[in-house]
Amino acid sequence: MTNAVLAATPVTAVRRPPVRAASLGFWVFSAYLLFGAWTLWKDFGAIAGAFPAVTAVNLLFLVVTSTVGMWLARRVLRPVQAPPLAASWLAVGWGALAATGLALILNSLNQSTLSEAAGLQFAGRWGAALTAPIDEETVKLLGVVLLAAVSSRLVRSAADGLVYGALVGLGFQVAENLVYGFNQVAATGGVGSAGSAFDVLVIRVLGTGYGSHWAMTAVAGAGIGYFVGAAGRPRSRRLLVALGGLALAMAMHFQFDSPFLDGTVWESLLKPAVNLVVVMVAFVLVRRRFLARWREVCAEETVSGALRAGEAQVLSQRHARRRSLRRIPSPARSAVKRLQTAQLDLLENRVPDMEPPGAAEQLRAAIAERRAAIRWA
């Protein structure tokens, strides 16, 4: 490609999905995060202080695994491009702090109620399976709902709901693993605490982590994303899908926590495998629907002139965008990247079909300005 010179033309700003710190939803979200953090510190701060080395090792292990999990979720579960990083951290934070703190309180209350109503033996065997699916899936999904309240541009499709649900579930999963590690330390009285707590973490991460909370909340989150984004569908149908997603997540959680198939290691590994199959089916369906609409919008915008021949294929794939940018001379690369960003914003905004009249025209005008700012010699 030949050299390019950037014109000094001012370029219209193109909107991107923001995390709006000024919104009421953000402050409600933040208040829950603080409450969850306080609850965790109140319950486990003393153990963490008494065994700082164990706590540090376990935290390091969980930071590494959660970082890998977050990268995979953002890279694999969202077609075309990853969700905004700030919103991704909010989702993980909700699961790790707010949802975990709320679940600790609700699970304790409901376990006590079940013990009084059905006896300690029944509650000990069935308590987790009967209470956790309702409590935990509800508070985790609340995080996806509040993300939609933080900004109307975050959760706009089932694909968005699925990836944010997975991130919320990942955060919850990481915090729950830490809680189980602390409980193991308390149960052993600190004897062999480092080894026993680490064993618990390894078993929960490698043995069951591939089909645990991230998978459950991803399914429920996809339902919320459909409810928000499928504006052209009847409200009753959208509500049915959202409630169905939550019910399916609760069913996944029930079979995961139930005392069935706990006889051998292989039987225990079957439970997360079932959840993995369910979430992968949901992922394939959501991805297929998203990409079908994406291709439809790309075709329309090629006709409108916002995209040129071949650009739709490049924009639709992460590696194709990176490869195309590497071929651009460095002085022009940043300008072409800004053009791609503007085009992606237009396509992402149009896929849910939720934009007000005239919004697409503003984005097309911004694309035209950014394209005109590149002069090919």
More confident residue, 322 or 152: 322
**Using 50, 70 and 90 to split pLDDT, how confident is the model at 359?**
confident
CA distances from 371 to 87, 187, 220, 364, 367 (A): 29, 64, 40, 10, 6
What pLDDT was estimated at residue 333?
Answer: 87
The answer to whether residues 2 and 376 touch, using CB atoms and an 8 Å cutoff, is yes
What pLDDT was estimated at residue 5?
Answer: 43
The answer to whether residues 211 and 276 touch, using CB atoms and an 8 Å cutoff, is yes
Mean pLDDT of 276-282: 98
Give the integer Cα–Cα distance in Å for 118 and 127.
10
Would the CA dihedral through 55, 61, 66, 67 be positive or negative? positive
The answer to whether residues 8 and 369 touch, using CB atoms and an 8 Å cutoff, is no
The answer to whether residue 53 scores a pLDDT higher than 90 is no
The answer to whether residue 87 scores a pLDDT higher than 50 is yes
β-partners of residue 375 are: 5
Tokens 């998203």 found at:
290
The answer to whether residue 13 scores a pLDDT higher than 60 is no
Q: At what angle do helices 85-93 and 52-76 cross, to 10 degrees?
A: 130
Helices (H), 8-84: 24-50, 52-76
Q: Quick check: helix, strand or coil at residue 374?
A: strand
Phi, psi for 374 (deg, rounded to 5): -105, 120
94: which DSSP letter?
I
pTM of the entire predicted model? 0.91
What pLDDT was estimated at residue 239?
Answer: 96
306: which DSSP letter?
S
More confident residue, 197 or 173: 173
Tokens 């609340």 found at:
142
The answer to whether residues 347 and 311 touch, using CB atoms and an 8 Å cutoff, is no
Closest residue by Cα to residue 365 from 315, 306, 312, 308: 306
Give the integer Cα–Cα distance in Å for 14 and 343.
9
What pLDDT was estimated at residue 255?
Answer: 94
pLDDT in tens, 101-140: 999 999 999 999 999 998 999 988 899 899 999 999 999 9
pLDDT in tens, 172-191: 999 998 888 888 777 776 55
Give the integer Cα–Cα distance in Å for 83 and 154.
8
| % of the chain exceeding 70 in pLDDT | 90
Q: Look up residue 36 and give its two tokens.
A: 């969850």
State the average pLDDT for the chain. Answer: 88
What pLDDT was estimated at residue 375?
Answer: 65
Q: Quick check: helix, strand or coil at residue 77?
A: coil
The answer to whether residues 264 and 204 touch, using CB atoms and an 8 Å cutoff, is no
CA distances from 108 to 46, 127, 178, 314 (A): 19, 10, 18, 52
What pLDDT was estimated at residue 9?
Answer: 42
Domain spans of the chain? 4-14+296-376, 24-276
Mean pLDDT of 334-360: 87
